[in-house]
Amino acid sequence: MAKQFEQSTLGVRAGTARSEFNEHSEALFLTSSFVFDNAAQAAARFTGGAQGFVYSRFSNPTVSMFQDRLAALEGAEACVATASGMSAILATSMALLKAGEHVVCSNAVFGATVTLYSTILSRFGVETTFVSPTKVEEWQRAVRPTTKLFFLETPSNPLGEISDIAAIAAVAKKAGAALAVDNVLCTPALQRPLEFGADLVIHSATKHLDGQGRVLGGAVLGAKGPVMDGVFGFLRTAGPSLSPFNAWVILKGMETLELRMLAQSERALDLARWLEAHPKVARVHYPGLASHPQHALAMRQQRAGGAIVSFEVKGGREAAWKVIDSTRMISITGNLGDVKTTITHPATTTHGRISAEARAAAGITEGLVRVAVGLEAVVDLQADLERGLA
Ligand SMILES: Cc1ncc(COP(=O)(O)O)c(C=O)c1O
């Protein structure tokens, strides 16, 4: 669907392709392979000489609808769906990098992304330098003649640090490297990194795109060349593909994406303001707050602050665990991007495997609590948190 439509329209309409039965709701094509009229047609489809579906590792109508809808929302030329967010990052790296090449990566990315670059891709001769998400000069300093990929996540999780996408994209461009932005926390409903000069957008569709914590999925978006020749080529061969069932679930989730993102951001801002005024809370990290050090940049890049609010409870780990354990409604679980609010203690869960010094350097204190705000009423969230703060 062309760009003249607004995000809300694209969210419910883009990518829809009706079958011969003219169904109104998008169909789920649960099939591994597709039948050909004859051998010549099979041969033409296999070589790519003729359009048409072949085999669901790399072509399926429900997955195509998911890809086309997300591409329309991100304003991207091409989208390739993957089995999870991590396989989207892996597929991007395998497509863009070879032994001897170098990556510059924000040090405030998802933990498994750090492990992928520092311990897995390093075994294949790809070196990574980790730099501050907010200090553009560190990105510039880290550049080598072999640098091929810049990778960042903005806002970061759990501290909501904001990377200046346009400024880092300019450094990447000068260095001849591609900039990939993990847009999981904002989704295209709040932020469209390609408009700020990013080359690729990465998604864990497991989070807000589904929105209801049901299935895993991922995607890579950008210009046709790197996405279709590079990422699609890797996916077709190596097979970390999105299942049609998951694509269908996420496709239907995306119909309410914009509404959810705006409503969850509104609740998150209310909750962040309440926490900021709470005597037992030392500090609140939320880009939508005027007190956030990069509030102005966040508001230039994002339509709203997003759903992740982190706060430091006075009294360290004991006080933080008391807040978590005193909740009766909020779910104690590591996932985010769900309409049900979740709560975690980053220092002992998502960041538990890194050293205490690295944690401290990253600002993940023992008193830090992360809340991924859902759609419940803010007064009910406050009551659930107040029990442990009181
Ligand atoms: C920002 C971010 N990127 C990537 C991922 C990985 O996604 P998945 O769990 O779908 O592999 C996550 C998962 O939590 C995430 O939060």
Q: What is the mean pLDDT of residues 1-15?
A: 85
User: Is residue 153 in contact with ligand 1, taking CB distance under 6 Å?
Assistant: yes
pLDDT digit string, tens, across residues 276-319: 999 999 999 999 999 999 999 999 999 999 999 999 999 999 99
Quote the DSSP letter at residue 95. H
Structure token digits, residue 242: 């999105």
H or E segment to which residue 301 belongs: helix 295-301
Give the closest residue (by CA) to ligand 1 atom 16.
110
pLDDT grade for 233, boundaries at 50, 70 and 90:
very high
Strand bridging mode 218-222 / 78-82: antiparallel
User: Is residue 218 in contact with ligand 1, taking CB distance under 6 Å?
Assistant: yes
Omega within 30 of 0 (cis) for the link into 155:
yes
Q: What is the mean pLDDT of residues 112-129?
A: 95
- CA gap 356, 353 in Å, rounded: 9
Contact indicator for 110, 134 with CB cutoff of 8 Å: no
Pocket test for ligand 1, best of 207, 335, 350 (most atoms within 8 A of CB): 207
pLDDT digit string, tens, across residues 173-198: 999 999 999 999 999 999 999 999 99
User: Is residue 158 in contact with ligand 1, taking CB distance under 6 Å?
Assistant: no
Separation of 204 CA from ligand 1 center, angstroms? 5
Residue 359 has pLDDT above 80, yes or no: yes
Give the closest residue (by CA) to ligand 1 atom 8.
85
User: Is residue 182 in contact with ligand 1, taking CB distance under 6 Å?
Assistant: yes
Count CA within 13 A, CB hemisphere, residue 306: 34
pTM for the whole structure: 0.96
H or E segment to which residue 78 belongs: strand 78-82
